[in-house]
Amino acid sequence: MKVSFKLNGEDVTVDVEPNEILLDTLRLKLGIKSVKRGCERAECGACTVLLNGSPVYSCTLLTVQIDGKEVRTLEGIQDTPEVKALVSKFVEAGAVQCGFCTPGFIVTAYAMIKKGVEPTSENIKKALEGNICRCTGYKKIIDAVTKAIESVK
């Protein structure tokens, strides 16, 4: 089946199987490596992408479901002031170790910032509750997101 959508601002059309998940289409057919294969069952957030601006797990979506929609991955937002601030504050705070979870956290935090959510500690925790990090502990990540938000105000 042919599916057409916007990926990081570009129109793409790709041949997919009816049961193909977006995670596989992005990684295996479109060369998007920031999207990670973690749990593959909607638990870890490593595969997070933005679908029409909202964070979603790409392991839970069939690619046929996104026909005509807009997908953004870290590659498509990496030059924004918000992502530059997030990356810088993650590094400063020691919120990156193996880095496997980091793209998912950054994409989710970016969406939260763009939606103008009030950056209280509770709101940041709630926004990031669908992302798991096995290495750093969550305090460093929350501190990094808080400082990134302050720096782009």
> Given the complex with ligand FES, which of 59 and 77 has the nearer CB atom?
59
3-state secondary structure of 143: helix
> Given the complex with ligand FES, which of 4 and 33 has the nearer CB atom?
33
Q: Residue type for 132, please? A: I
CB of 55 to ligand FES, least distance (A): 11
Binding site for ligand FES (CB under 6 A): 37-40, 42-47, 57, 59, 96-101, 133-136
What Rg do the C-alpha atoms of the chain give, in angstroms? 15
Residue 37: count other Cβ atoms within 10 Å of its Cβ. Answer: 16
Among candidates 12, 17, 50, which has minimal Cα distance to 31?
12
CB of 48 to ligand FES, least distance (A): 7
Structure tokens at 45: 């957030």
CB of 3 to ligand FES, least distance (A): 19
> Given the complex with ligand FES, which of 17 and 43 has the nearer CB atom?
43
Q: E strand or H helix at 93, and its extent?
A: helix 81-93
> Given the complex with ligand FES, which of 64 and 135 has the nearer CB atom?
135
